[in-house]
Amino acid sequence: MRILFVAMANSVHTARWINQLNGRGWDIHLFPVTSVEEFGISTELKETTVHHVLFGKQNGWHPSVREVDDFWPFLKNGWPLSRGSYRARRLVERWIPAWKDRTWALAQTIRKLRPDIIHSLEFQHGAYPVLDARRHLIGKFPPWIVTNWGSDIYLFGRLAEHAERVRAVLASCNYYWCECKRDVGLARSFGFNGEVLPVLPIAGGYEVARFRQLRQPGLISERRLILLKGYGGWAGRALVGLRALELSAAWLKGYRVAVYLASPETKIAAELVSQSTGIPLDIIPPCSHEEMLRLHGQARVSIGLSISDAISTSLLEAMIMGSFPIQSRTSCGDEWLQCGKTGILVHPEDPEGIAKAITRAVSDDTLVDQAAEINAQVAADRLDRCVIEPQVKAMYEKIAAENPNGDAILNRAAS
């Protein structure tokens, strides 16, 4: 089976989803929608052929990753010389502007590969380019799966700039994958009439038993760390979280706060909050996945706030590692948590409400200890790799069987 993924190559979510298919003998390809030269690829990615790579394999790539420069479609193996590719490419882009268009390049990749399945991971970066690439092709188009990440429909579907594009994608794709039941209904309301695939986390499954060994020994109520996701920008509300911590400072004696993935404005605000409250507050530098899990495994409370999300990966990791989640209700946290029992859902822009949630979580030992036990069972039942991977592989096999490629030919459309 040959599958072409169209996705952000630098995303760890892309790598973890694709890696579920390792070891099957399938022919896996990735067309990066962001420049590999500028943004790189995830170092976790394995057993994949990455297309549209200008400068060859970079340091840190897994040895099983292969690279292809599709810029020279008339040359079977790409640019044949050891030097000169960059200059030649820039000259051709000047003479034939279409060759600079990644949509055009994607269309040529599809035409050359003739994949059994095309899978777009995320709408705005992964699905829009496929929608546009179809204009350059005629003939039978491969079955197309689109996966909804985070805010693809829940937020962007409400914005005038994106609403029609979202509808066009959902009208054109054959299969829809998402991680929230909420987003199934939204897709249907936007006109999707194809097949909805099982609702599963977009990063795939977790090695739950192994990760639990990274936990701090003892009861959750004995932990004295609070974790805060530091996202700012258009969606993250870490600044509101910092204000909530400031409001609940009287309850945080003996605690320290760690902020990860901190935006520049979050770093500044965190320093000021630490000065005003006396709460030790650390900014966590970029770290490995295992180091991040260890932090959740040391935390009594993990806070994640944004105006829009699907399942926050940090929420799932907190559940696995025993930390009590405080999560914005604009995510799909209600599909995983029992609010007030196994976590607390809050408004992302209500510092007083978040402060009350923090106060309860640090003052009620029974709450956090019992929540950890329940969340551990939920993780084992719904998040373990051995539960999720077989479903993922079965879906690809089913789709390929329903849509035999045969002698289908994709040709260039007349311009």
What pLDDT score was predicted for residue 97?
Answer: 59
Cα–Cα distance for residue pair 308/187, rounded to 1 Å: 16
Rg of the Cα trace of the chain? 23
Give the residue ranges of the chain where pLDDT is below 50: 74, 76, 407, 415
Residue from 193, 182, 254 nearest 224 by CA:
254
Residue from 286, 283, 263 nearest 271 by CA:
283
Q: What is the dihedral of CA 124, 259, 204, 46, to 10 degrees?
A: 80
Sheet with 344-346, edge to edge strand ranges:
281-284, 256-260, 225-229, 301-304, 324-328, 344-346
End-to-end CA distance of the chain: 31
What pLDDT score was predicted for residue 93?
Answer: 61
Residues of the chain with CATH 3.40.50.2000: 2-204+386-412, 208-382
Q: Side chain identity at 150, as an amino acid letter?
A: G
Q: How far is CA 360 from the centre of its chain?
A: 31
Helix ranges, 364-409 (H): 365-382, 385-402
Token pair recorded at residue 347? 């408004």
In the three-class reduction of DSSP (H, G, I as helix; E, B as strand; rest coil), residue 177 is classed as strand
Q: Give the largest CA-CA distance in the chain.
A: 70
Handedness of CA 227, 211, 45, 201 (dihedral sign): negative
Cα–Cα distance for residue pair 275/249, rounded to 1 Å: 12
Cα–Cα distance for residue pair 402/77, rounded to 1 Å: 32
| Chosen CATH of 2-204+386-412 out of 3.40.50.1820, 3.30.420.40, 2.60.40.1840, 3.40.50.2000 | 3.40.50.2000
Contact 333, 318 (CB under 8 A): no
Contact 137, 179 (CB under 8 A): no
Cα–Cα distance for residue pair 349/306, rounded to 1 Å: 8
Token pair recorded at residue 267? 């770093």
In the three-class reduction of DSSP (H, G, I as helix; E, B as strand; rest coil), residue 175 is classed as strand
Looking at the chain, the number of H-run helices and the number of E-run strands are: 15, 16
Taking only the tens place, the pLDDT of each residue in 276-297 is: 999 999 999 999 999 999 999 9
What pLDDT score was predicted for residue 327?
Answer: 96
Query: Is 208-382 a CATH 3.90.550.10 domain?
Result: no
DSSP conformational letter for 342: T
Handedness of CA 135, 137, 138, 144 (dihedral sign): negative
